[in-house]
Amino acid sequence: MLESLQFIYAPQIVNGLSIGVAVVLMALGLTIIFGLLDVINMSHGEFYAAGAFISVSLMAMGVSFWFCLLLVPMILVPIGFAMERLLIQKVFHYKDRHILTLLLTFGVAMVLEDAYKIIWGANPIKPSAPISGASELLGVMFPNYRLFLMGFGALLIFSVWALIYKTQLGAIVRASAFDKDMSSSLGIPVMRVYALTFALGVALAGLAGVLLAPIYSVFPTMGRDFILMAFSVVIVGGLGSIKGAVIAGILLTQLQSISSLYISPVWSDPLVFTVMVLVLMFKPSGLYGGMKNA
């Protein structure tokens, strides 16, 4: 009993947690973009892939992994900013902007995915882990990189939360989301704030890509597979809620990793999606719906 707990469950839980942290990072970007801008970003997964691909290329050029962690978001911020300004704001004033922005980002995702195939090829690339070795905890070996991923991810998630809820900048962002007209009459450049918020979400997805590249391989459709999980997390947690994304992210990835022990790995995805559908049916606002009570 104790042995199975130690050698079977503990590694599975740690694996689940390290993926959970990355999923939360993705979901965080999605939920910020929805909570503040009312945009369902279907291309979020492709920005996650962008982060992974750019880091692979940078590392091939000799840039160290640690520098990539800084450089990739810096590359993605202007791209996200430009996309919001040039495309999303074009359809932002229509009545059915929910659907139009969803369609628009869906189109962008299509273009990006094919662009990756052209630039990097369809074959998976596997970068080596920047931290090698494993540490022993309670008699079980855990890969050091996964331990780092959990610590660093938790730090990032905390920083994003603090940025939005504890700083002046965050107050400006929340004010712009809450009342666009009032904020702009107070002199806040609302449109620029929106574009920056979108860029921040996109940069977070890219960062998740850099962090997960050494664990999974990097390939053009990687975003599509991962975004489904991130969407489920955002829905279960409540669209727009940071707290919800964190809690749901950890719950769902644990559900995924524990159920793959008990049932079979092939059934863990349908299980997660079933939870998502059930939540949508009975509590569409999720566990902690709405940015306002996050």
Partner 1 sequence: MHNPQVKAIRFIELFLLSSALVLYIAGSIFEDTFFLRLATEALIFGGLAMSVDLLLGIVGLLSLGQAFYFGFGAYLSALVLKEISPSFFLAIGIVTLSSILLGWIASFIALRSKGVYFALITFGLAQVAAKVVYNTRSLGASDGMMGVPILQIWTPFGSIDTSHPGAFFLITLLTIGVLYAVLKYFLTTPMGSIWHAIRCNEDRLAYVGYKSKGPKQVAFILATVVAAVSGALYPMLRGFVSPELMFFSVSGNAVVTVVLGGVGTLIGPILGSVLLTSFKSIIGTWTVHHHIVIGIIFVVIVVSAPKGLAGLLAKYLGKNHTSKEGE
Residues forming contacts to partner 1 in the complex (CB under 8 A) are: 40, 87, 90-91, 94, 96, 98-100, 102-104, 106-111, 113-115, 117-118, 224, 228, 231-232, 235, 239, 266-267, 269-270, 273-274, 276-277, 280-281, 284
CB closer to partner 1, 65 vs 116: 116
CB closer to partner 1, 137 vs 225: 225
**From the CB of 209, what's the least distance to partner 1, in Å?**
20
Taking the C-alpha atoms of residue 55 and residue 156, their distance in angstroms, rounded to an integer, is 18
**From the CB of 106, what's the least distance to partner 1, in Å?**
6
**From the CB of 214, what's the least distance to partner 1, in Å?**
27
Residue 75: burial class (beta carbons within 10 Å; 0-12, 13-18, 19+): middle
Using alpha carbons only, what angle is made at residue 26 by residues 265 and 167, rounded to the nearest 5 degrees? Answer: 145
SS3 at position 230: helix
CB closer to partner 1, 55 vs 232: 232
Instruction: Return the residue matching tokens 């596997």.
Output: 126
Using alpha carbons only, what angle is made at residue 258 by residues 22 and 151, rounded to the nearest 5 degrees? Answer: 30
CB closer to partner 1, 137 vs 277: 277
User: CB-based contacts of 122: which residues, under 8 Å, 6+ apart?
Assistant: 219, 220
Among candidate residues 173, 26, 32, 202, the one with its CA nearest the CA of residue 108: 202
CB closer to partner 1, 115 vs 129: 115
Per-residue tokens: 243 = 């707290």
Among candidate residues 178, 211, 203, 249, the one with its CA nearest the CA of residue 75: 203
Instruction: Return the residue matching tokens 């918020």.
Output: 197
**From the CB of 163, what's the least distance to partner 1, in Å?**
25
CB closer to partner 1, 191 vs 280: 280
**From the CB of 262, what's the least distance to partner 1, in Å?**
15
**From the CB of 118, what's the least distance to partner 1, in Å?**
6
